[in-house]
Amino acid sequence: MSALAADDLGMVKALGRFGIRLLWHPSLSEESGREAIAILDDVVAGRIALDCLCVEGSVLDGPDGTGRFQMLSGTGRAMKDWVAALAVKARHVVAIGSCATFGGLPAGGGNPTGARGLQYAGWDMGGALGKDFRSGSGLPVINISGCAPHPGWVVETLAALSLGDFGPERLDALGRPRAIADHLAHHGCSRNEFYEFKASAVRPSDRGCLMENLGCRATQAPGDCNMRRWNGFGSCTDAGYTCINCTSPGFESPPGPFQETAKVAGIPIGLPLDMPKAWFVALAALSKSATPQRVRTNAHADHVLIPPARRPTKTP
């Protein structure tokens, strides 16, 4: 559903700009039943070349390693076996969404179904294809994580693969495209002024920073969500919903309830990446002492109560 909103044209036409033809997709293609299975059979048999295998959703290993919790209807064969058979025929393999990359929500709790990503099970390498898997291009699984991933991430990654402009240096340590993962969701957040002064929201409708009380993890979440926006306009934090770091393994099992900040001795457990705890505490205390009244007041309102001061520019 996220990918359908790609660009102004939709996913299929957006990919068509780069000469990419959709061979088959369970929701977007006309073929179903025997026709769809025939396409998969032809790929496995080598009668149809497969440039890129894109997988959505977790791969279920249960029960007892059989994969029979997740069967492809009409084939009598587990999805994990189909994925493995198709992957070895593909020049590139791309996991789309956090379920396909790391296991996602189905892997939460006790994970009774044995849900895994293609090459990761949470933070651990392995997954349905194994840690040593490499596609025909020599690359590991390319992990476009996110719940849901931004449609631009999908189009741009597939476009780069189609143009032959994607090597191992383009991937981070978890196989995510660096064009996405080298940024944080915090970058470009419309609430950054409140973050700077640690002027924190206490209700979802407040305009203040969502980190201190409402569980926002944007300072730890890889992704350019607040830089490229969604649907050309907004983001999770714009809508008052905290970033849950859905591009990282284990986001489905946070240390506390979603939209509540887990703390120890009043200090949030999840601190900005690369920032020592002592520095954060010192900076937070200093920032709060310097918070302008305008920022402090607006942080606890659902609209701007005090606008920025209007003063003429001074010239030397």
HEC string of 75-120 equals CCEEHHHHHHHHHCCEEEEEEECHHHHHCCHHHCCCCCCCEECCCE
Which architecture does CATH list for 192-299?
Irregular (4.10)
Say what the pLDDT of residue 280 is.
72
Match 């020599």 to its residue by tokens: 138
Tokens of 178: 């660096």
Task: Give the per-residue pLDDT at 54.
Answer: 97
pLDDT digits (tens, 9 = 90+) for 157-188: 999 999 999 999 999 999 999 999 999 999 99
Query: Tell me: the pLDDT tens digits for 194-210?
Result: 999 989 999 989 999 99
For the cut 80, the answer to whether the pLDDT of residue 118 exceeds it is: yes
CATH of 3-181, one of 3.40.50.700, 1.10.490.10, 3.40.50.1260, 3.30.1050.10: 3.40.50.700
Structure tokens at 244: 């849950």
Cα–Cα distance measured from residue 281 to residue 267, given in angstroms and rounded to the nearest whole number: 8
Residues of the chain with CATH 3.40.50.700: 3-181
Which residue type occupies 122?
G
At residue 286, the 3 state secondary structure works out as helix
**Residue found by looking up tokens 């396909």 in the block:** 100
Tokens for 168? 């191992």
Chain region(s) in the chain for CATH 4.10.480.10: 192-299
Terminal CA-CA length for the chain:
56
In order of 56, 138, 273, 291, the CA distances from 133 in angstroms are 18, 9, 30, 52
| 250-255 CB contacts, 8 Å cutoff, 24+ apart | 250/102, 250/122, 250/123, 251/98, 251/147, 252/98, 252/103, 252/104, 252/105, 252/107, 252/108, 253/108, 253/109, 254/215, 254/217
Whether the per-residue pLDDT at 192 is higher than 70: the answer is: yes
| Top-confidence residue, 311 or 121 | 121
Question: Token match 């390319």: residue?
Answer: 142
